[in-house]
Homo-oligomer: A and B are copies of this chain.
Amino acid sequence: MMRTIRLQREDFDAGAEQAALARGRPDIGALVAFTGICRGDGISAMTLEHYPGMAEEEIARHVEEAERRWSLKGVTIIHRFGRLVPGDNIVLVVTASAHRAAAFAAAEFLMDYLKTQAPFWKREERGDSASWVDAKAADDQAAERWNRRADAAE
């Protein structure tokens, strides 16, 4: 399986990453890409702090778990850190499989885990003040459902 994990300050090209994962791989029938974008709902900027070393290892552990659960041909995860403004890309998850069910499920699984388990913290700037974003119960619940379900669908 092709596996790419990158943490970077720079922007990424979601289209180029998807094309790179599928290129020359006629066994891939389904490609799912999730792009997370910095929203502008009242914030002027956001700074993403991360735990270097652990972030890569934690993401790699979840990619391995996704590979155990679904039949995957490739995974690309890119997570940015540093200061971002509304409209900027934050995160990219691309999953490739023979069939769509596995690609969709793995992409959702990886996003749910990135939200709750990968060591990143967001600090938002609103006007003159800045505050750390609180973890959302909804995100914990979204991640939790993967422990309950045994539906390793294709």
* Interfacial residues, chain A to chain B (CB-CB below 8 A): 13-16, 18-19, 22, 24-41, 86-87, 98, 100-101, 103-104, 107-108, 111, 142
Count of chain copies: 2
Alpha-carbon distance between A101 and B32 when the two chains are bound, in angstroms:
14
Interface of A is mostly: mixed
Contact for A18 among B35, B41, B107, CB less than 8 A: B35
A123 to chain B, nearest CB (A): 17
Which residues of B have CB within 8 Å of A98? 39, 41
A20 to chain B, nearest CB (A): 11
Which residues of B have CB within 8 Å of A14? 15, 18-19, 31, 33
